[in-house]
Amino acid sequence: NIFSRYRFCTKKYNVLNRHYISNLEKHFLPTSPKPFNINANIIRKSIDEIKQSFDPNYSDLKASVEIELTERVGVIHFESLESNVNLVSLNMLEELIKSLEKLNRSNDIDMIIFRSKKSKSFCAGADINYINTLNKETAFKASSLLQNFIKFIIASKPTVALIEGHCYGAGLELALACTYRVSFNRKDIKFGFPEARLGLIPGGLGSYLALTRSPSKVFLMMISAGLNINTQTAKQYGILTHILDDYSL
């Protein structure tokens, strides 16, 4: 089993990693996944439960998410307000799920685009301060929450991740869940799963999605060793579906 290779993780995050691996092996391997049917209310309930368990001294990163409608396309512009880069926080997930649900329900929208408001950062991954607040119970909930959010994207209308800056960790998992992953031929745009350097496994189905897009040793190195790749390599191995040369959007 390829996932046995990931059991190198540090003791600190071992509970979270084992929970993720067991879910992955139970629901996805070796058979192909069935179509997802995830209710947004389940995700909102999980967010509320985790927020209630927060340490009083911890403040979740605020997020701004706006919808732009153009013809029959809905563009979700997202941004972490208290960080130089975009980070996946509970507030970010909460705002994204609201926008995604609204666009999915609209009869006037045929496609949904995720686009960062920060030109140099699509998403740098999960907020490590948030991860460090998790205990055994909330770690299970957090892992399931991110997985359900990714499933909700997969089950949505056709989606596009428009990647104009670096794309790491949970941000890359979000992108891999999209129907199309589009980026630009720029040297500063990188893709990777830095979780390995912290002793973590990509917990939002990133391992599964990466390996099914195009099974390759490159993905194994990304997930297990934290290898970063550029846009050309990402296109070659299926992380990206399109590379654009014209940056005048």
* Cα–Cα dist 117/139, whole Å: 29
Paired strand residues for 202 = none
Is 66 annotated in the active site?
no
Tell me the CA distances in angstroms from 225 to 6, 132, 198, one per residue in order: 10, 21, 10
Is 94 annotated in the active site?
no
3-state helix, strand, coil in the chain (%, to 5): 45, 20, 35
Q: Which of 79, 95, 164, 195 is catalytic?
A: 195
Q: Which amino acid, 79? A: E
Q: Which of 79, 95, 164, 173 is catalytic?
A: 173
Q: In what order do the strands lie in the sheet with 242-244?
A: 63-70, 73-80, 111-116, 159-162, 180-184, 242-244
Active site residues: 173, 195
